[in-house]
Structure 1
C-alpha cells in the first residue's frame, strides 16, 4: 500500500488571508500615520542636549517616512503583480469591489458586467482564490493521509 499526503485549501482561512492583505492595501491607500509626520510644536528644555545623539526628531521622522514609503511601494508592487495574474473580469471585480478609494457595491458591478448574482459571486470567490495563490498566501487544511 502506498500512502500519499493531500493538502486541501482551507477556503475560509484563505479568504480571510486575502481580505487581510486587501485591507492592508486599503490602509496604505488611505492613511499616513501621524507619528511619521514632522512635529510642529516646539519643545524647550533647560537641560543640555545629548551630543552623541545621531538624528534629530525631524531627521528621525524623515527616515521613518522614507521607510514607510518604501514598504508601501513594495506592497503595492506585490499586490499589483498578483492582480495581473488574474483574468480580466476577475481583476475588474477585485479592483472595483476592494481596491479603489471609493469601492463599488457588488450589485453595481454584476449589473455593469451583465452577469447574474450567482455567477458574480462565484467569479468573485474564484478571483479571491486565484489572488491568494498568486500572492502565495493560500492556507491549507491539515495534511490528510489517503491510501491508494
Structure 2
C-alpha cells in the first residue's frame, strides 16, 4: 500500500484501518439492506409446543413469555433494518453520481450484474470502475462508522513478520 493510500484512510483516526475487514463489514451491511429493501422483513413466528408431561420448576420466580419475546425481537429487528436503510440513504447522499451508480449496480440492484458488464454500460474501463467502487466503499465505511481498526499489538506483530519492525 502506498503512503498516499495509507494516509488517506487513517486521516480521521490515530489507528490504522484493516481494509479487508472494513470492506467485508460494508459489503455485509449493503447485502443486509438490499435484502430488506427487496423482500422486507420476514417475521419470526412463535412456536408453542405443549407437553403432556408434568414439569417441575424451581423457585426462580422467573416469568417466561415466549410469544412476547418473539414479538419484541420482530419489532426491534425491523426497526433496526429500517434505521440501517435510512443510514445508507444518508451516506449515499455524500457520494458522487458515479460512485452512487457503481454501488447501486454492484450491491443494491435487484439483478446484480458482473462488473465488466456494468462498466461497459457506463462507458468506463474496468480499472476505473474498480477504483471508483473501492473509494465509494471507503467513504461509506467512514460515513456509516463501519471501520475496523487494527489493534496496536496486532499491528506490531504484522510489521515484525514482514521484517519492518
TM-score by length of 2: 0.63
Structure with a larger share of its residues in strand? 1
Of 16, 27, 48, the match for 1:8: 16
Helix, strand or coil at the partner of 1:7? coil
2:102 is equivalent to residue 93 of structure 1: yes
Residue 24 of structure 1, aligned match among 20, 29, 32: 32
Aligned length, in residue pairs:
136
Which residue of 2 is the match for residue 136 of structure 1?
145
- Residues in 2 aligned to 1:99 and 1:117: alpha-carbon distance in whole angstroms: 19
Residue 20 of structure 1, CA deviation = 2.1
User: Does 1:73 pair with 2:82?
Assistant: yes
* Residues 19-66 of structure 1 deviation map (CA, whole Å, 9 limit, x = unaligned): 2212322343446445x2467x9979799xxxxx796x7666544433
Please, what TM-score do these two structures have when normalized by structure 1?
A: 0.69
1:8 Cα deviation from its structure 2 partner: 3.0
- Decide whether the 8 Å contact of 2:41 with 2:78 is kept in 1: no
Higher relative contact order (CA 8 A, sep 6+): 1
Please give the alpha-carbon distance, in whole angstroms, between the structure 1 residues aligned to 2:79 and 2:40: 15
CA RMSD across the alignment: 3.5
Structure 2: gaps (5+ residues): 1-12, 55-62, 157-165
